[in-house]
Amino acid sequence: MQTHLRGRDLITLQEWTKDEIDTLLDVAFMLKRERALGRAHPILRDKVLAMLFFFASTRTRASFEAGMAQLGGHAQFIESRTTQISHGDTATEIGEIMGRYNDGIAIRQVDWGVGNGYIRDVAAASRVPVLNMQCDIYHPHQALADLMTIIERFGDPRGKSATVSWAYAASYQKPMSVPQSLALLLPRFGMNVRLVHPPEFRLMPEILEQAEDNAKRGHGSFEIMDDFEAGVTDTDVFYAKSWGAMLTTTDEGEGAAIIDKYPDWIADERRMGMAHEDAIYMHPLPADRGVEVADAVIDGPHSVVFDQAENRLHGQKAVMALTMN
Ligand code: CP
């Protein structure tokens, strides 16, 4: 267990050791138990988290805000659109100023080619920890909640297979931060990860290299497939969600046309039936119901989407309690 995490940024779990992530999991499960028992845990009394959003959110905003309140502190909601950020406040100014008002700064900035750099620029200027609430490359708090959920369902994740698959969704070109974060994290915990997608939806090459290296070190495996049904056959975790073809084209129209080539990539009951009998279906939400996933799957007996959403709260409380105390 690592006990010296005070002041650390969490921009990607790839920058945290396995031992440090084990500490996060340990504290997250402890805080979940404490909440179930109705025991208060004001570890961050009088502390304040700035939550800066450049993009919409339901779960991330609500869980960070509830988490800070449950830890005895406060979270302030700041939107780029309704502040002077939209008129020119720079990342450095935000890091300097928000770091002087607050005990932590959490940011969601998912613009392709912009988000991660922005968060790192704020972190470089900030005297307090910076937490990534999702960027164009990573969604670390989602991946942490997902790993918690897998451990709750299966116990030791070593040797379990996880299919992280692209799925069709016409609503908008979603960031690739969730599949990238899962591809990096799950093999570190000994899981056998199959990344499945049509060719145009490849992930960043450096992430794929790191995922392969993580698999070697974690005694898991990592393979890339382009056959949806082969990918889901006999899997333990069926994690199917959409992301954009940003590495093929940055043109919105072309991207939408590429997505429209694959409307059959839906997580439906037939495909869920190809997975192991006790397999779980996962999605970070929001999902495009009826196109990305069938109602019968997301509302069915294999679905753990509400546990995933709940674990956002407990995982993030662990991160905040350990870094902002
Ligand atoms: N999963 C997730 O990040 O949800 P929100 O976009 O609603 O925050």
Our mutation pick for probing the ligand 1 site, out of 54, 58, 77, counting the most ligand atoms within 8 A of Cβ, is: 58
- Domain containing 25 equals 13-139+309-324
State the distance from the centre of ligand 1 to the C-alpha of 139, rounded, in angstroms: 10
165, part of any domain: yes
Percentage of the chain lying above the pLDDT 90 cut: 98
For the full predicted model, state whether its pTM sits above 0.95: yes
Which residues, 6+ apart, have CB-to-CB distance to 63 below 8 Å?
309, 312, 313, 316
Q: Whose CA is nearest to atom 6 of ligand 1?
A: 57
- Whether a cis peptide bond, with omega within 30° of 0, leads into 286 is yes
Average pLDDT over residues 79-86: 96
pLDDT at 133 over 90: yes
pLDDT digits (tens, 9 = 90+) for 289-305: 999 999 999 999 999 99
Q: How many domains does the chain have?
A: 2
160, part of any domain: yes
Q: What is the CATH number of the domain that holds 135?
A: 3.40.50.1370
Please tell me the predicted confidence (pLDDT) of residue 195.
98
Q: Is 60 in the pocket of ligand 1 (CB under 6 A)?
A: yes
Average pLDDT over residues 5-22: 98
Q: Whose CA is nearest to atom 1 of ligand 1?
A: 284
Q: Which helix (H) or strand (E) holds 239?
A: strand 237-241
Q: Is 285 in the pocket of ligand 1 (CB under 6 A)?
A: yes
Q: Whose CA is nearest to atom 3 of ligand 1?
A: 60
Same domain, 84 and 228: no
Q: Is 59 in the pocket of ligand 1 (CB under 6 A)?
A: yes
Same domain, 272 and 300: yes
3, part of any domain: no
Ligand 1 atom having least distance to the Cα of 55: 6
Same domain, 148 and 294: yes
7, part of any domain: no
Please tell me the predicted confidence (pLDDT) of residue 171.
77
289, part of any domain: yes
Average pLDDT over residues 76-83: 97
Count other Cβ atoms within 10 Å, centred on residue 51. 23
123, part of any domain: yes
Q: Which of 151, 123, 98 is nearest to 304 (CA)?
A: 151
Q: Is 181 in the pocket of ligand 1 (CB under 6 A)?
A: no
Same domain, 135 and 23: yes
Same domain, 222 and 297: yes
Distance between CA atoms of residues 235 and 101, nearest Å: 47
Same domain, 147 and 231: yes
187, part of any domain: yes
SS3 state of residue 36: helix
Same domain, 47 and 135: yes
Q: Is 55 in the pocket of ligand 1 (CB under 6 A)?
A: no
pLDDT digits (tens, 9 = 90+) for 154-189: 999 999 999 999 999 987 889 999 999 999 999 999
